[in-house]
Structure 1
């Protein structure tokens, strides 16, 4: 699908976490307490995505009663069909599932279950690929995916939080995917705290269907701290405006990068000529090492590229 980049879309950015677990599966806290923590941390929405396993009676946690005029929830689950090359089960994020979504059939494969979830209205993500040792062959089989979970705050404690390498390879192979960051918060005593990684979704309202539509269209960026204010293309230059950072980095489908470093950078322009495979992405890093990431920016042939997700 050919869509415009989020900064030019109507509405505003809404901050949310797409991957969270409650005591309905292996999380430590009830949904009400989790929602309170995110709401008080300044979040606009939350998806509680409990593990959709038989041992938990296939929970699809109903959080509709937690919605207010200023905070909303998306219903979802983490799906675990068998199997990947190196694991007995998959980890597939499905945000936007309807209540009553049927459990997997005994012989239902991961691609089949993901297609069924997407057909039911869900946004489909490959959860923590690095932590799951997901291979390129595994990932390419999941043809219903909308996105790759490129940063997972819980997996970062195992030094496997970053999954951009897999996303870059998949995009180079022609898969049009977006990329999101998430907490994967369980709130167990040994876990890192929540509210560490999020998406900023551009939509006209907090209506759950509006948020889901924006996620599916790629109208969002991800962050662990900095803000992206705008990205513009003019001929062969990309211009980035953001909150104060120490580094602006442009990478993409080709080895190498374009980098600007300094103190309290808020705007800079970089050339795009090196990206022969016609796509790039933006990363900014602040003085605390926190980062924000654009979605992939697809550059069609011609002197003036356009931005799509």
Structure 2
């Protein structure tokens, strides 16, 4: 499935379930307003700025086809303010070596790495005489490419779990330490168990972090009925740029937008649970042919209104709903009241 449409999802508080704007799906959520008659505007001020970032990224640390530093460099050079690395069930904080001719990036990625960072590549030969390259850690890449107030890298993880044949993948953003998938006796229980693990780490460390469900329609693993019941998990990917995750659904399965409608209706009207916010992400795996019909970068992102470009400030703004998700539309401001936007 190749999606050429542009979508935008609004994460701030407003008392309208959905508003269509031209050809874009513009979905706004119910949330607390300071005053029913008050008009509120979200825009850049002297204290707050819009920060664009991607929260779903894979590298050679799991099933991506490029090196951390090359991926971070791509996003930085394309105007992103922050990037989360979310490799499957691993944090890039240990020593790991890869054989270029055998990994997913092959020799092409290796040669491009040497051209871009000629004095940075650390090599050795293994017992078979093959060249190995050390994968740089998150800390090393962050130190080299991050710039305070300008470009931020965030340590995160795709907690990759399942129930029977149903994949259940959740991104944990701004982790302190690795989360091990906990499984469960149902799709719902898998999500709740892994959510509880993140909340426990957050409480134990005092570090602000969030978890969100990835691509619910990937192999149609997660339904609205599964996700709506999860407590402590208030985000999911309404748009994921990977071509194989079935955002639009099919004859037998709801689209992610319809899933969102169902979840909001049930959570707010019946379950009395908080808003479920919609995110846009790349889920990038392929970085060497852009554009393509693979899972390349630059397809989906979030734009967060925050006082600081720091992990905990971004998490706080996300939880407050001061963001929008997009696959092409850019907003300067959003004005809303209980009457509309």
Superposition TM-score tier, normalisation by shorter sequence? 0.5 to 0.7
Which secondary structure state, in structure 1, belongs to the residue aligned with residue 42 of structure 2?
Answer: helix
Is the contact between residue 160 and residue 170 of structure 2 (CA under 8 Å) also seen in structure 1? yes
Equivalent in the alignment of 2:42: 7
Q: Is the 8 A contact 2:161 2:183 kept in 1?
A: no
* SS of 2:162 mapped into structure 1: coil
RMSD of the alignment, in Å?
2.8
Structure 1 position 155, deviation (Å): 3.5
- From 233, 244, 247, the counterpart of 1:145: 233
Matches of 2:324 and 2:71, distance apart in 1: 23
More strand by proportion, 1 or 2? 1
Task: Verify the 8 A CA contact 1:82 1:110 in the aligned structure 2.
Answer: no
- In structure 2, the CA distance between the partners of 1:204 and 1:138, relative to structure 1 (3 Å rule), is same
**Structure 1 pair 33–169 and aligned structure 2 pair: CA distance change class (3 A):** same
SS at match of 1:42: coil
Which deviates the most, 100-109 or 111-120?
100-109
> Which of 150, 167, 171 is the aligned partner of 2:264?
171
Q: How does 1:32-43 map to 2 (within 5 A)?
A: 32-43=69-80
- CA deviation digits over 1:4-31, x for unaligned, max 9? 7771584010000000111101000111
Which residue matches 1:89?
Answer: 167
- 2:84 maps to which residue? 47
Q: CA deviation at 1:205?
A: 1.4
Q: How far apart, in 1, do the equivalents of 2:337 and 2:247 lie? A: 37
Q: Which runs of 5+ in 2 are unaligned?
A: 1-30, 35-39, 94-136, 203-207, 250-254
Instruction: Give the C-alpha shift of residue 126 in structure 1.
Output: 1.4
Distance in 2, matches of 1:24 and 1:192, equals: 16
Structure 1: tracts of 5 or more residues without a match: 53-57, 240-309
Q: Aligned residue for 1:101?
A: 178
The 5-angstrom pairing of residues 1-309 of structure 1 reads: 2=32, 7=42, 10-52=47-89, 58-59=90-91, 63-65=138-140, 66=142, 67-69=146-148, 70-83=150-163, 87-98=165-176, 100-105=177-182, 109-119=190-200, 120=202, 121-133=208-220, 134-155=222-243, 160=248, 163-173=256-266, 174=268, 175=273, 176-187=275-286, 191-233=294-336, 236=339, 238-239=340-341
Task: State whether residues 125 and 148 of structure 1, in contact with CA within 8 Å, keep that contact through their aligned partners in structure 2.
Answer: yes
* Larger deviation, residues 160-169 vs 196-205: 160-169
Distance 1:159 1:211 in 2: 26
- Cα distance between partner residues in 1 of 2:41 and 2:194: 29
Alpha carbons of 1:217 and 1:63: their partners in 2 closer, same or farther (altered >3 Å)? Answer: farther
